Structure 1
Amino acid sequence: MGKMGKNEWQGAVQPMALRPERQQVAALCYRKKDDRKQVLLITSRDTGRWIIPKGWPMEDRSDAKAALQEAWEEAGVTGRLTARKPIGHYRYLKLLKDGSTVPVETDVYPVKVKGLATKYPEAGQRKRKWVSPKKAAEMVQEPQLKELLLSL
């Protein structure tokens, strides 16, 4: 181990270097308009970048239902899940309040949108935008999410 002792490696460095990814769930909200598929993007509250609604798993519901709940809270989406299993996933580094980052793997569940509410928990904190999957892929930053959007 060189100059670093085993206790320092196990106590401080190893947990940081090998920390497990955290898991999130996301809703890929879509609709058909004029026979063309559109996806709903929202802005993040902290950086304003374009994302899909996502959040942490919830103890009282399945991951798919948690993704649907995030779609409601963050985007005012009313709709239904069209799959109970993820249609894909993507990874990104989540910026925490203390300025550090943590690797996150996000499972993506499809949600067919029936409507958008004007009053919902995070109304006024985010922007919403309907775009083609191709345009959405240009707007998001995460490479694996770009690929997922282009596969639609």
Structure 2
Amino acid sequence: MGIAKPISLQDASWLQSLTGLFVKPARLQIAALCVRYGKAGPEILLVSSRGTGRWILPKGWPEKDMPAFKTAVVEAFEEAGVEGQADMRPLGSFRSFKGLNDGLRLRTNVLVFKIRVEKQHKTFPEIGQRKCVWVPWEKALDMLDEKPVRRFLLRHRDDLT
């Protein structure tokens, strides 16, 4: 019977390469924090998710050859028919999960861009697939299902004005 020889780090490189199969990096999504100003103060746009009907911010995958802030504008229009001016720099980010149709969930890092809404169209690409609602900041906190989005709004309340 032989004596067990310790495995060196070089010998274990095959094991380290397998970790990529189990831990996938977070995917990037782009969100639009759509803000309009009413008589009672700033209001935030929430849209319902298509699958579960949860209240979320409009968001989607980055568009090829398009700056991220413009992707936020596209997502806001497609999901809620809004148009406006987006800040070129993200307001911040949060971590989330994206549920896929097959039941899988992907970790995501979500960059959030503030959009000052100028107009909301009556028709838009995802009309009938989502509900849209304008709510004051405090009500948005109650309606949002995801804790990371609520924490994001708490951190950025002063950025809404």
> Looking at CA atoms only, which structure, 1 or 2, has the larger radius of gyration?
2
Aligned-partner Cα distance in 2 for 1:103–1:20? 7
Q: 1:17 aligns with which of 22, 32, 55?
A: 22
Aligned-partner Cα distance in 2 for 1:19–1:147? 24
Q: 1:123 aligns with which of 106, 124, 127?
A: 127
Q: 1:92 aligns with which of 96, 120, 126?
A: 96
How many residues are paired up? 145
Q: Quick one: which amino acid aligns to residue 122 of structure 2?
A: T
Structure 2 residue 40 is the aligned partner of structure 1 residue 40:
no
Q: Which residue number corresponds to residue 70 of structure 1? A: 75
What is the TM-score of this pair, normalised by structure 2? 0.83
Structure 2 residue 131 is the aligned partner of structure 1 residue 140:
no
Aligned-partner Cα distance in 2 for 1:16–1:110? 35
Q: Which residue number corresponds to residue 52 of structure 1? A: 57
What is the TM-score of this pair, normalised by structure 1? 0.88
Deviates more, 1:140-149 or 1:65-74: 140-149
| Deviation at residue 16 of structure 1 after TM alignment | 4.1
Aligned-partner Cα distance in 2 for 1:141–1:35? 24
C-alpha offsets along residues 67-103 of structure 1, whole Å, 9 cap, x if unaligned?
110000011001111x211111111111112211110
**Structure 2 unaligned residues grouped into runs of 5+:** 1-11
| Deviation at residue 60 of structure 1 after TM alignment | 2.4
Aligned-partner Cα distance in 2 for 1:31–1:39? 7
| Deviation at residue 17 of structure 1 after TM alignment | 3.1
The two structures, once aligned, show a CA RMSD in angstroms of: 1.7
**Structure 1 unaligned residues grouped into runs of 5+:** none
